[in-house]
Amino acid sequence: MRDVPLVSVRDLRVGFDGLPAVRGISLDVGMGEAVGLVGESGCGKSVTWLAALGLLPKSAQVAGSVKLAGEEILGAAPHVLDSVRGGRIAMIFQDPASSLNPVHRVGAQVVESLRLHRGMRGGAARAEAKRLFDLVGIPDAARRLDAYPHELSGGQNQRVMIAIALAGQPELLVADEPTTALDVTIQAQILELLGALRRDLGMALVLISHDLGVVAETCDRVCVMYAGRIVEEAPADALFHAPSHPYARGLLGALPPIDGPRRPLAAIPGSVPDPNAMPPGCAFAPRCAHHIAACDSAVPGLRPMGLDRRAACIRAEAPVRAALVPA
């Protein structure tokens, strides 16, 4: 079983009312690996994982395959999905305030997760909840277990959410924009915590973000999504230093420089296509500075760009050989 990825998504498609939101995604997450999913709002990052975990409304049309350690979970029976969700795969979201129950003490919410996923109760569960609070860096953990969410800061509530997620001893934590609602210094602390937990617990991490800088720093590998498809997949470092796909280049251009001279941020012109009116070929073509007529004739598939990178662009070449040349 050594070569079986922890999670393997193949040709995942999701539609709402006949309109495509995810248009054939394939990706693997290895044991203990950190994979970033990046792209503008609405490109299908969240829906991919909500579909995998059976969390979309029944009206969503879902097709394809999602295997967890080789076992199909897409469309699996409710009792199977119940043990996967919060157990083998946990998910945390952008806004901890809306995920936590405001009328229950935070410790009780961790204890409930321990009861559900590990059958723990009473003193043992409370001791384990305190250990988890210590692990996620909540100071004065024993006292904070008795706090209500409104008595804690946004950053502390996100740490509580992470503790609840860890209660099920997940093999994979999917963190969906986990720092977007937090201020900048707290964002960095939460990202550091996620990275440390992954290393110390050997847990895999999928980090969903619209910020390429955030995923490049935290992840081993990054998938860039555009209009429901993956347009580039590469090791985080390689992607950050030399993106192949023009959209990935655009995302990078929209980042403030870490060092070097200040310059105005380059926004990507135009907007994501309406699912009602997808362009006939490459979905990015109408916004692309490298567009040529052939881009409109067929949807480009992901093709290898060197050893460990794939890009869906007929004009992209492996960055070591050549950069994109404007038409």
Binding test (CB under 6 A) with ligand ATP, winner from 7, 25, 27, 45: 45
Subset of residues 278 to 317 that bind ligand ATP, contact rule: CB under 6 A: none
CB of 47 to ligand ATP, least distance (A): 3
Told to check if 57 binds ligand ATP by CB under 6 A, we report yes
Nearer to ligand ATP, 114 or 173 (CB): 173
Query: Would you count residue 47 as binding ligand ATP (CB under 6 A)?
Result: yes
Q: Which of 46, 99, 109, 156 binds ligand ATP (CB under 6 A)?
A: 46
Q: Least distance from C-beta 142 to ligand ATP, angstroms?
A: 36
Number of residues that bind ligand ATP (CB under 6 A): 12
Neighbours of 200 (CB within 10 A): 9
| CA distance linking residue 47 with residue 85, whole number of Å | 15
Residue 42 lies near ligand ATP (rule: CB under 6 A): yes
For ligand ATP, which is the closer residue by CB, 21 or 203?
A: 21
Q: Is 43 in the site for ligand ATP (CB under 6 A)?
A: yes
- Residue 154 burial class via C-beta count within 10 angstroms: exposed 0-12, middle 13-18, buried 19 and up: middle
CA angle, corner 134, sides to 101 and 167, nearest 5? 50
- Part of the chain binding ligand ATP (CB under 6 A), chosen from 43-51, 80-88, 242-250, 291-299: 43-51
Of residues 224 through 243, those in contact with ligand ATP by CB under 6 A are: none
Per-residue contact track with ligand ATP, 181 to 210, x per CB under 6 A?
Answer: -----------------------------x
What's the rounded Cα separation, in Å, for the pair 49 and 205? 12
Closest residue by Cα to residue 170 from 277, 91, 271: 91
Q: Which is nearer to ligand ATP, 98 or 297 (CB)?
A: 98
Helix (H) or strand (E) holding 132: helix 122-135
**18 or 102: whose CB is closer to ligand ATP?**
18
Judge whether 283 and 273 are in contact, CB under 8 Å.
Answer: yes
Strands (E), the chain: 7-16, 19-29, 34-38, 61-68, 71-72, 89-92, 172-176, 204-209, 221-226, 229-235, 303-304, 310-311
Token pair 């937990």: residue:
197
Complete DSSP assignment for 13-39: EEEETTEEEEEEEEEEE-TT-EEEEE-
Residue 32 or 42 with smaller CB distance to ligand ATP = 42
User: How would you class 13 by CB atoms within 10 Å of its CB: exposed for 0-12, middle for 13-18, buried for 19 or more?
Assistant: middle
Minimum Å gap between C-beta 97 and ligand ATP is: 17
Q: Which of 41, 261, 274, 276 binds ligand ATP (CB under 6 A)?
A: 41
Q: Which residues bind ligand ATP (CB under 6 A)?
A: 16, 21, 39, 41-47, 57, 210
